[in-house]
Amino acid sequence: MKALVLAGGKGTRLKPITNTVAKQLLPVANKPILCYVLDQIKEAGISDIGIIISPDTGPSIKEALGSGSLWDVDITYILQSEPLGLAHAVTTARDFLSDSLFLMFLGDNLIQGGVSEFVHRFTSETPDALILLKEVADPRLFGVAELNGQGDIIHLVEKPKEPKSNLALVGAYLFTPEIHQAIAHIRPSWRGELEITDAIQRLLDTGKKVRSHVLEGWWLDTGKKDDLLEANRVVLDELIQRSVEGEVDSQSEIVGRVELRKGARVQNSTIRGPASIAEGCQIVNSFVGPFTSVGPGTIVEDSAVEHSVILERSHICGIERLADSLVGTRVSIRKTGDKLRAVKAFVGCDSTLEL
């Protein structure tokens, strides 16, 4: 079995940060989202992985992941010149996939517990497709599955205006080579894209066996700012362990599950977990609260930060409360006069914000 990871696209909903950073490389708990995806694929026993990349962000993804040796897997990079839909990505990867069974995994999605159980069910039951579903609050934003009374899939539709169920297609699918023939018979949707939901519907219409698996745990699609902050919160809450390897002076306090990596320094400050402070950070005369990730080389001084993701080499100074914020790389946020009481920010890379 092979895996196909989709890491192209423009990241439109996360601009301006994605003007300079691939959305799949944005960090959750100080680890790129795409690295969690590769962890879960490896855990499922798949080591031959194709990664769909775009012309704009492909080089940075190649630099971050390399050959796959960190995971003991083989990575093949596949260029998709334009983001023309998930089914188009499968067609683009046809030479790599050949006639193998394959797992398709969206590179900006996180699934609690991984996909090992999902893969095992597919290889045991041998359907033509196995799709992962999750109940969602607003199914109009997703591909949606309609089931009959026995739980069998009877219809799929992409982003319906009037959904007939609240079961969304999660960003992981398993296919046999039958999907290639199905894709060959579909046409672009009203969005101008080849939809994978249309291809799966074609499998259904031609009598192929399509099964579904309803996910009980969490599923996180990190395509928007608030989604990324929620993913950071959930991952910190579930996975972070107390590990204090940086320097902490006698006037500081580390409370709860805090990851303080080597080379980080904490002076006259409090860090309350769950939180992750990366290498080379300086936390000075400040408070870092729960559900916060501070990227490598970032300085936080005379400030309080909570429920935020701050990327590397940024500088937060004199902000009384920075919360619910996503801050890019090499960003300076500072109060030039008296302390500002509260800030909620979404700031692109290489920016200065003076308040």
- Domains located in the chain, CATH noted: 2-235 (3.90.550.10), 240-354 (2.160.10.10)
Separation between Cα atoms, residue 343 and residue 164, nearest integer Å: 40
Span 344-349, mean pLDDT? Answer: 92
| Neighbour count for residue 298 (Cβ, 10 Å) | 26
Span 147-165, mean pLDDT? Answer: 83
**pLDDT tens for each residue of 236-280:** 999 999 999 999 999 999 999 999 999 999 999 999 999 999 999
Span 13-22, mean pLDDT? Answer: 84
Span 292-315, mean pLDDT? Answer: 97
Confidence of residue 309 (pLDDT cuts 50, 70, 90): very high
Express as a percent the part of the chain with pLDDT over 90: 74
Span 45-55, mean pLDDT? Answer: 96
Which pairing describes strands 275-277 and 292-294: parallel, antiparallel, or unpaired?
parallel
Confidence of residue 132 (pLDDT cuts 50, 70, 90): very high
Q: What pLDDT shows up at residue 339?
A: 59
Span 81-96, mean pLDDT? Answer: 94
Span 14-29, mean pLDDT? Answer: 88
Terminal-residue alpha carbon distance, the chain: 54
- Candidate from 42-56, 60-74, 214-228, 293-307 with smallest mean pLDDT: 214-228
- Strand partners for 335: none
Burial of 311 (0-12, 13-18, 19+ CB in 10 A): buried
The pLDDT of residue 151 is above 80: no
Tell me if 80 sits within 8 A of 57, measured CB to CB: no
20's tokens: 């300079």
Separation between Cα atoms, residue 173 and residue 129, nearest integer Å: 7
Separation between Cα atoms, residue 172 and residue 320, nearest integer Å: 41
- Candidate from 119-133, 189-203, 276-290 with smallest mean pLDDT: 189-203
Span 122-138, mean pLDDT? Answer: 93
Span 73-81, mean pLDDT? Answer: 96
* Residue of 29 and 141 predicted with greater confidence: 29
Confidence of residue 340 (pLDDT cuts 50, 70, 90): low
Q: What pLDDT shows up at residue 160?
A: 86
* Widest pairwise Cα distance in the chain: 70
- Candidate from 49-58, 71-80, 200-209, 214-223 with smallest mean pLDDT: 214-223
Span 172-189, mean pLDDT? Answer: 95
Please report the DSSP string for 241-288 in residue order: --EE-SEE-TT-EEESSEEE-TT-EEES-EEESSEEE-TT-EEES-EE
